[in-house]
Amino acid sequence: MNVIGSRPTGWWRDRPGAMRELTAELGRFAARTGDEVAVIFDGEPFDLEGDGVEVSFASRRGRNAADDDIARLAGEDAEPAGLTVVTSDAELARRVEELGAQTLGAGAFRRRLEG
């Protein structure tokens, strides 16, 4: 949601539409770069698939729900140094960096998506 919120596009009026748009952008990014891409959204799950993107929704509702799932996945990864977590949340960044993952701010990643 940090990447979606990095531009004032009115995304808050159509949250599912913004999620679909980001998923499509991530699919194009994955095809262009060959990177494995996963996204975890907050909110009520709905049917959302993306070519070349692993899409999931937070396993619970509430504060930091997706952040907790992201940190868990980073902790379970056999090679967390090969992961880049995109977030503008300082606490999530601290958590995953302690596990060995790299981080990239949402604005910087948005520029990569558009590049």
Q: Say how many Å lie between the first and final Cα of the chain, rounded.
A: 20
Token pair 């979606």 in the structure block, residue: 4
Model pLDDT for residues 22-62, shown as the tens digit of each residue: 999 999 999 999 999 999 999 899 999 989 999 999 999 98
Q: Specify the CATH number for 4-114; select among 3.30.70, 1.10.3470, 3.40.50, 1.25.40.
A: 3.40.50
Instruction: Show the tokens assigned to 21.
Output: 């748009």
| Residue 47: strand, helix, or coil | coil
- The yes-or-no verdict on residue 1 having pLDDT over 80 is no
- pLDDT surpassing 90 at residue 8: no
Locate the domains of the chain by residue range.
4-114
Q: Over 90: is that where the pLDDT of 4 sits?
A: no
The pTM of this model reads 0.89
Neighbours of 39 (CB within 10 A): 21
With contact defined as beta carbons under 8 Å apart, do 19 and 41 qualify? yes
